[in-house]
Structure 1
Amino acid sequence: MHKLIPWDTDPVRAFKEFVSTTAFAQTGRRLRADGTLRALSAESAKIYIFMFGNVASWILEQGLSFSSVTHADLLRFINRTENGKRVLNSKIAYRYLRLLERCYEYLEVAPNPAQQAIIGIDRAHMSKDEPGRTLSEDQLQRFFAALPAQAPRLRRNTPFDGWKRRRDRAMQVVIALTGLRVSEAVGLLLPEVGRQIALDGSIVLTITPDEKHDTSHEHTVTLPRQGADELRHWLQEREAMAIPGQFVFPANLTGARMTRKTVYVQMRATFERAGMDLARSGGRTLRNTFAKRQLDNGARADELKDVLGLALERSAADYNFTRVKPDPAD
């Protein structure tokens, strides 16, 4: 029981020390062809630490400790809902439980609460998760047509009236054509926008973890000419307005960071103007659409992993899609 003490007093620190050890690799039982243990990559360790931190925060909020958690508590954790929707899909929920199972196995806790929780969930349901929704080419063009319009110059009292509308327009085009997460678009920095324009008019974005979500990984993605033109026009206006800071899409004239909620609200408004009543009208649908177009163009799972900034190739291989249902206007 003495091994559990640090996991109760500072569980995140205890896990960080554990995840880098051979003992953690042994609980994974992943072997190379020669029979030796497969080392954990730094990127995978970062993901595991992020996941464990989520569990540890929830345990603390519930007034529990790591040693007192039961399988019923863990089932409550994975079945949490927000606005009537589950926070974790079944595949991700299983990965959380599997991670915790490894921790309790290492600590020699019997019965293992995470193992009991795994037995208690419907594994068959995991293969039935709703596929990621994507837009058809026609719907995507309707989305672009419904973007915030460029404010007519005759209606401007100053050259920069309506600048937020043009910022939102450029941001949504970038998200749709590069598959960026909303957190990555919000945290996009000026140095991450390539200065060199390709012969076809495209530019390369180099996404780094700076100012992004904890699970963002460095990767490059090409913004095609349609998006590059929109982005360049916005950046020229941003420079003319002398907005300080490094955010490509600042929240205000002081250069502050935008909130993801603001982006979601503006994006939903675009979907509504396009006449698409979507249950999931947001960044995820646009990211799925980008991924589907990549696969349709012959991209392999490892290539999709790179352009989406995923840590694991199996995450890209998990992508499966369904088209958004046609609405009455179709």
Structure 2
Amino acid sequence: MDSLWLTNPALAYRDWQAREAASADRRPFSARSIIQHQAMFEHFRRHLLTRGKSIAAFGADDIDSFWLTADARTYSQSTRMRYLKLLDRLCRHLVFAGVRKDNPTAGLLGSVRWPDEEPAPQYLDPAVDQRLQAHLQSPADDIASLRSRAIVATFLATGITAAEARTARMADLYPDAVPPYLFVPAHGPRGARTVHLPDFAVPLLRAWLTRRKTLPIEGDLLFTLRADGRPITDMSFGRIVSAALEAVGWSDADMSPRTLRNTFCRRQLLVGRSRDEVSQVLGLASHRTCDRIAATIPADEMLQKRTSQ
């Protein structure tokens, strides 16, 4: 039996990921996927600790109770499937290693399927959007609060993705330029672009940039949770966004940076920007996202917004 799984499961998982874990086609996972998987495993492991269970002894009931936790209640069908696949890979390995006698996910995978259709885009309606903007401008109590508000403001004000926020650097933010802007370097299929900052975000991002430059953190990432300068995980971004949305009394199935990106897109369309302009600002090569968001706007609302400009 591999005792490290019992004495230090977090270390055992990292070691297994680095040496052996692979996807269904036997290709090693990417560095980004490994970071995400480790965060997911740690989230589930902490749930087990609250229930007094170990990696060697948890069952299907512990997985069922996990879906009822505050964070997991907001998970999409796709995210639940990713968790089940992760736990299935893990349990099959633990059975092989002699740490477990069974795989409690075996009977659960068949009950959860990848979505057949892309779900309707989630977004904040204009009233909630305004409430969140106002909330972000209220005084922050400490550095952690200032950083969290700056993170949420960046998503809400620029529509960048979590991956782009994860790699944003201090030198990319120009809150004192005329007009203020965030430079978004090329990332995968998305080309480099400049996104102008709306008024509500400028004081907060200026304050965060000033404070960030004084912190003893390795590297030059704009946002990081640790002194060693490691990028923030998607799970941490999700918790930060979720907390901000809960603070303004909003809850829905997808309380994530993606919802704020959709809100940014919808706000641009509401003020009359063309789908070409908005797609460019979002770093998209097609109009598909803009068309899906535009479909959520009633024709009379769009007309009213345009005629009031």
Q: Is the 8 A contact 2:159 2:262 kept in 1?
A: yes
Partner of residue 62, structure 1: 51
Quick one: which amino acid aligns to residue 290 of structure 1? F
- Structure 2: where are the runs of 5+ without partners? 141-145, 216-221, 224-239, 305-309
CA RMSD after TM alignment: 5.5
Matches within 5 A, 1:162-173: 164=139
Aligned-residue offset at 1:8: 1.9
Aligned-residue offset at 1:38: 2.3
Partner of residue 123, structure 1: 113
Quick one: which amino acid aligns to residue 286 of structure 1? L
Quick one: which amino acid aligns to residue 38 of structure 1? R
Match of 1:176 among 156, 169, 194: 156
Cα deviation code 1:214-262 (max 9, x no counterpart): xxxxx998563352x66556677x59xxx7554899xxxxxxxxx8788
| Counterpart-to-counterpart distance in 1, 2:5 and 2:169 | 38
Matches within 5 A, 1:1-330: 2-3=1-2, 5-21=3-19, 23-25=20-22, 28-30=23-25, 37-77=26-66, 79-82=67-70, 86-107=73-94, 108=96, 109=100, 111-119=102-110, 121-123=111-113, 126-127=115-116, 131-134=120-123, 139=126, 143=129, 148=134, 164=139, 174-179=154-159, 191-194=171-174, 202-204=181-183, 222=193, 224-225=195-196, 227=198, 238=207, 246=213, 263-264=244-245, 268=248, 279-280=251-252, 284=257, 285-290=259-264, 296-297=275-276, 323=296
| Counterpart-to-counterpart distance in 1, 2:205 and 2:77 | 41
Aligned-residue offset at 1:197: 5.3
Quick one: which amino acid aligns to residue 24 of structure 2? R
| Counterpart-to-counterpart distance in 2, 1:129 and 1:221 | 27
| Counterpart-to-counterpart distance in 2, 1:6 and 1:171 | 36
| Counterpart-to-counterpart distance in 1, 2:251 and 2:246 | 14
Q: Is the 8 A contact 1:7 1:14 kept in 2?
A: yes
Quick one: which amino acid aligns to residue 158 of structure 2? T
Cα gap change, 1:263/1:29 in structure 2, threshold over 3 Å: closer, same or farther?
closer
Provide TM-score, normalisation by structure 2: 0.56
Q: Is the 8 A contact 2:17 2:34 kept in 1?
A: yes
Cα deviation code 1:23-65 (max 9, x no counterpart): 312xx232xxxxxx42321111111111111111111221111
Aligned-residue offset at 1:135: 5.5
| Counterpart-to-counterpart distance in 1, 2:149 and 2:64 | 41
Cα gap change, 1:57/1:129 in structure 2, threshold over 3 Å: closer, same or farther?
farther
| Counterpart-to-counterpart distance in 2, 1:110 and 1:12 | 20
Quick one: which amino acid aligns to residue 224 of structure 1? V
Quick one: which amino acid aligns to residue 109 of structure 2? I
Quick one: which amino acid aligns to residue 85 of structure 2? R
| Counterpart-to-counterpart distance in 1, 2:88 and 2:256 | 32
- Structure 1: where are the runs of 5+ without partners? 31-36, 150-161, 207-218, 250-258, 270-277, 306-315
Aligned-residue offset at 1:194: 3.8
Count of aligned pairs between the two proteins? 248
Q: Is the 8 A contact 2:182 2:196 kept in 1?
A: yes
Cα gap change, 1:177/1:225 in structure 2, threshold over 3 Å: closer, same or farther?
same
| Structure 1 counterpart SS, 2:108 | helix
Aligned-residue offset at 1:264: 3.9
| Structure 1 counterpart SS, 2:56 | coil
Percent pairwise identity: 18
Provide TM-score, normalisation by structure 1: 0.53
